[in-house]
Homo-oligomer: A and B are copies of this chain.
Amino acid sequence: MKICLAQLNYTIGDFEQNTLKISDAIQEAKKSGADLVLFSELAVCGYMPDDLLDYDWFVEKCESSLEAVAQSCQGIAAVVGGVMRNPGKGRSLQNVACFMQNGKISHVICKTLLPTYDIFNEARYFEPADHTEIIEYKNVKLGIAICEDFWDIYNDFEYKESPVQRLKNAGAELILHPSASPFHLGKAAVRDQVFAGNISRFSLPVCYVNQVGVHTDLIFDGDSQALNAAGDTIAELPYFQEKMVYVEYADGDLKGNKIEPFFPEYISTLHDAIVFGIREYFSKMGFKTAILGSSGGIDSAVVQALATEALGAENVFPVLMPSEFSSEGSITDAELLSGNLGNKTNIISIADTYHSLVQSLSESFQDKPFDVTEENLQARIRGILLMALSNKFGHILLNTSNKSEMAVGYSTLYGDMCGGLSPLGDVYKMKVYALANYINRNGEIIPQQIIDKAPSAELRPGQKDSDSLPEYSLLDEILNLFIEERRGRDEIKSLGYEPAVVDRVIQLVNRNEYKRYQSPPILRVSGKAFGSGRRIPLVAKYG
């Protein structure tokens, strides 16, 4: 039996294009002599429509799209993911994989394990499967395990059942594993573990198909794979690209030589993911051009370089907005960077507007001293100017905050926190440096002095980030323990970190939840990003 793994890029809710894409793939696979094509989870509607599922028309479209795709399955079978109404009691919908043949849906397989943690909310919508079903096709007993159904061995908590065990018990010979598995750095290793773990438990070959693309903050990397019953990878699809590949099942196993699975190198993958994330976000939002504030600092330099790679030099518009506190170097460094990247640069001084605002506020402020208010004023004038250019010319404003700043609130709400997308909001500062060095791997693109100079917001004379914050190497470690690893304050101190520093960092993180509540969407590249996967109440008193 020849099986096609179709790794495609869907748009949430675009039933027409998604259906067309799936049907075309089926026809292409048929021409190539495939017996079966496997698509990803929720393929017809894209993963994840969230509360669009509350609308009946959306679910009806989902069901009619599945029906329409089924009609194109003549002389070939397909497994296509979607949402259908639950005919029984419980939640009104089910997350299904439809087995299609002879122009019809012959089997509807429901998902059993509904991930409801981090960025997943499936228990919000779906009723789990209440039985196990095997599909016999071309004399092969197929078991379908939708995404989490194969991930029962992964979580912090222990699932009460193993859908793959039940499929094995029911006689499955081959597992089809349609998924929508969002990317984060380190996820590949987890996937390998899960595949190895469940294959060694059940000695069953697996065809895994993931979607590829970007849905708001989530990046889907693809990396679909076929693994034989010994756990060897015999086919693997690329990261961040649509592609179809064919594998052969015969005599109880997937055929083909073992290949060395691609092991994503940390920084290059981070780089590729963000470039892909920016490109896809713009393309799916229907935008071509980006604007950003270019400060001469490392964060905006890296965003500018990544955006240029994603969108093209002619589509990225850096704006230099010096104030009286900007160093001479900031401007020349930023100009040098734009020259290296080939971006057309705009310089707009904020000095006049700053003085106009200070003047307007002078009566109200009386003689109160310069403080964070005036620093924020400068950041917010820059936000206004960038948004004005965004509005006038139809650019998306790229936010340039990194995760360390977002974490401790070293950023101005409605100022440098403005933006339609935050490419670095899930990347700690030390990793931003690593990205800069990677960008320069074949020659200097980001001027070395931008990488070398001490980080500064340049919002008052002689300001350095290290005046207010611990060194980033230390800060990032504590943040990682607190945010990604969810260690408590006492636990972090017990690891040997200076108690006063730990207290200060955690206090800053907690105090600044209110800013992050209003932050732009952040491309998720870690296992715990700020955004919908991390929900902390604002009105609270704790830790």
Listed in ascending order, the chain A residues whose CB lies under 8 Å from chain B are: 11-14, 17, 46, 48-52, 54-58, 89-92, 114, 116-117, 121, 123-124, 127, 156-160, 214-216, 280-281, 284-285, 346, 348-350, 352-353, 356-357, 359-361, 364-365, 368, 371-373, 376-377, 380-381, 383-385, 387-389, 391-392, 413-414, 418, 420, 486, 488-491, 514, 517-521, 532, 534-543
Contact at B216–A538, with CB atoms within 8 Å?
yes
Known contacts A357-B385, A364-B348: A490-B57 contact under CB 8 Å: yes
Contact at A384–B392, with CB atoms within 8 Å?
no
Q: How many copies does the complex hold?
A: 2
CA distance in complex: A357, B50 (Å): 40
Known contacts A11-B540, A373-B391, A543-B58: A159-B90 contact under CB 8 Å: yes
Contact at B539–A216, with CB atoms within 8 Å?
yes
Contact at A537–B12, with CB atoms within 8 Å?
yes
List chain B residues, Cβ under 8 A from A48. 537
Contact at A281–B11, with CB atoms within 8 Å?
no
List chain B residues, Cβ under 8 A from A377. 384, 388
Q: How many Å from the CB of A28 to the closest CB on chain B?
A: 24
Contact at B55–A281, with CB atoms within 8 Å?
no
Contact at B157–A535, with CB atoms within 8 Å?
no
List chain B residues, Cβ under 8 A from A11. 539-541
List chain B residues, Cβ under 8 A from A158. 89-90
Contact at B356–A372, with CB atoms within 8 Å?
no
- List 20 contacting pairs A-B, 8 Å CB cutoff, sorted by A: A11-B541, A12-B542, A13-B541, A49-B540, A52-B543, A55-B488, A89-B158, A89-B159, A92-B157, A114-B123, A117-B124, A123-B124, A215-B539, A280-B539, A357-B388, A360-B385, A384-B384, A420-B514, A517-B520, A517-B521
Contact at A50–B349, with CB atoms within 8 Å?
no
Which residue of the partner chain B has the closest CB to A214?
B539
Contact at B353–A373, with CB atoms within 8 Å?
no
Closest 5 CB pairs of A and B: A13-B542, A57-B488, A123-B123, A12-B540, A373-B391
List chain B residues, Cβ under 8 A from A361. 348, 385, 388-389, 392
Contact at B488–A537, with CB atoms within 8 Å?
no
List chain B residues, Cβ under 8 A from A114. 123
Known contacts A58-B542, A124-B116, A541-B11: A51-B535 contact under CB 8 Å: yes
| Best-surrounded residue of A160, A350, A534 (most CB of chain B within 10 A) | A160
CA distance in complex: A376, B12 (Å): 30
Q: How many Å from the CB of A156 to the closest CB on chain B?
A: 7
Contact at A52–B540, with CB atoms within 8 Å?
yes
Contact at A413–B392, with CB atoms within 8 Å?
no
User: When the two chains form the complex, which single residue of B52, B346, B384, B490 contacts A537, counting CB atoms closer than 8 Å?
Assistant: B52
CA distance in complex: A142, B153 (Å): 39
CA distance in complex: A439, B370 (Å): 40
User: When the two chains form the complex, which single residue of B91, B284, B387, B541 contacts A376, counting CB atoms closer than 8 Å?
Assistant: B387
CA distance in complex: A101, B455 (Å): 59
CA distance in complex: A121, B536 (Å): 13
CA distance in complex: A170, B169 (Å): 36
